[in-house]
């Protein structure tokens, strides 16, 4: 069965009545190999990885390897792969860091993080989702205003497939309690004053900071609060979305 925006709308209330685990189980059974999980190795996606490892370990789990992730994140990835018995697939930008610097100047992120995220995260995600039926993310409503507007199951208009956010209504405390009960690790940086962990140049400690909530410390000094992966609705080339200058090669 091919899912459409109408299918999602027709089944939303029924599916949103499920628990998070039940929704994951439903998605794994319904979409099979057509479903992928995007992980950032944040606490919520670790919980989803744990469920997937137990329910359908052959499910494709990928992460956006910008070339700028912390070594602590890679160490966590290796530990989780070993503990859960699953593989995670790096999805990389078409431009290497050197090629991006040649085209856009050095350290684009320090001058204008929006096109940098577009080149190193949004476009690689777009390529990765081509041909898939559904993708799953670990976003939660309390993380940001953008995320609070999401649904547990929705139609991803930008990429043209179903998007599932099973943990949308969970709190960070609920996630932490589940991970602790399972004896699963989190990124060691979260115990060192980082509230959310992204790329090295765009993530700083946020201890004692009142503003920014759960994503404080990301893109410090810029109004930007999201990398663009969960922004909705957008279409390629619409206003506000950087053009894929470097992705034509
Ligand atoms: S988080 Fe920063 S370094 Fe990473 S892709 Fe976005 S702007 Fe570039």
DSSP per residue, 98-115: HHHHHHH-TTHHHH-HHH
Q: What is residue 233's predicted lDDT score, i.e. its pLDDT?
A: 55
What pLDDT, on a 0 to 100 scale, did the predictor assign at position 208? 67
**How far, in Å, from the CA of 242 to the mean position of ligand 1?**
14
Mean pLDDT by 10 residues, the chain (249 residues): 95 97 98 98 97 98 98 98 98 97 96 95 97 97 83 96 97 96 96 91 79 71 76 48 44
Q: According to DSSP H, which parts of 149-237 are helical?
A: 172-182
Structure confidence at residue 219 (pLDDT)? 75
H/E stretch holding 7: helix 5-16
Ligand 1 centroid from CA 37, angstroms: 21
Residue 33 · residue 56 · CB < 8 Å: no
Extended beta strands in 134-174, E state: 134-136, 153-156, 161-164
State the Cα–Cα distance between residues 37 and 60, nearest whole angstrom: 6
What was the pLDDT predicted at 240?
Answer: 41
Q: Does the beta carbon of 201 lie inside 6 Å of ligand 1?
A: yes
Task: Supply the residues annotated as catalytic.
Answer: 227
**β-bridge mates for residue 199, sequence order:** 69
The residues, any chain, with a CB within 8 Å of residue 115's CB and separated by 6 or more, are 104, 108, 242, 245
Name the residue at shortest CA distance from atom 4 of ligand 1.
199
- Nearest-atom number in ligand 1 for the CA of 201 is 3
Fold of 5-186: Rossmann fold (3.40.50)
68 alpha carbon – ligand 1 mean position (Å): 8
What pLDDT sits at residue 229?
Answer: 82
Q: Is 116 in the pocket of ligand 1 (CB under 6 A)?
A: yes
């Amino acid at each position: 069965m091919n899912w459409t925006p109408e299918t999602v709308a027709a089944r939303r209330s029924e599916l949103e009545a499920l628990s998070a685990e039940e929704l994951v189980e439903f998605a794994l059974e319904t979409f099979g190999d057509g479903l992928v999980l995007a992980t950032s190795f944040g606490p919520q996606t670790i919980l989803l990885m744990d469920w997937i490892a137990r329910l359908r370990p052959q499910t494709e789990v990928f992460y956006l390897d910008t070339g700028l992730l912390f070594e602590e994140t890679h160490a966590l990835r290796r530990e989780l792969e070993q503990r859960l018995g699953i593989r995670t697939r790096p999805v990389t930008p078409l431009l290497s860091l050197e090629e991006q610097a040649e085209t856009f100047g050095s350290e684009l992120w320090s001058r204008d993080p929006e096109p940098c995220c577009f080149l190193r995260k949004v476009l690689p995600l777009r390529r990765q989702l081509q041909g898939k039926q559904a993708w799953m993310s670990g976003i939660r409503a309390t993380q940001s205003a953008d995320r609070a507007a999401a649904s547990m199951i929705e139609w991803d208009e930008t990429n043209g497939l179903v998007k599932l956010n099973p943990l949308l209504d969970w709190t960070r405390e609920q996630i932490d309690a589940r991970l602790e009960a399972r004896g699963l690790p989190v990124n060691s940086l979260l115990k060192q004053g980082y509230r959310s962990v992204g790329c090295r140049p765009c993530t700083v400690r946020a201890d004692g900071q009142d503003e920014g909530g759960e994503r404080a410390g990301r893109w410090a000094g810029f109004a930007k609060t999201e990398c663009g992966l969960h922004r909705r609705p957008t279409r390629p080339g619409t206003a506000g979305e950087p053009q894929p200058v470097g992705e034509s090669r």
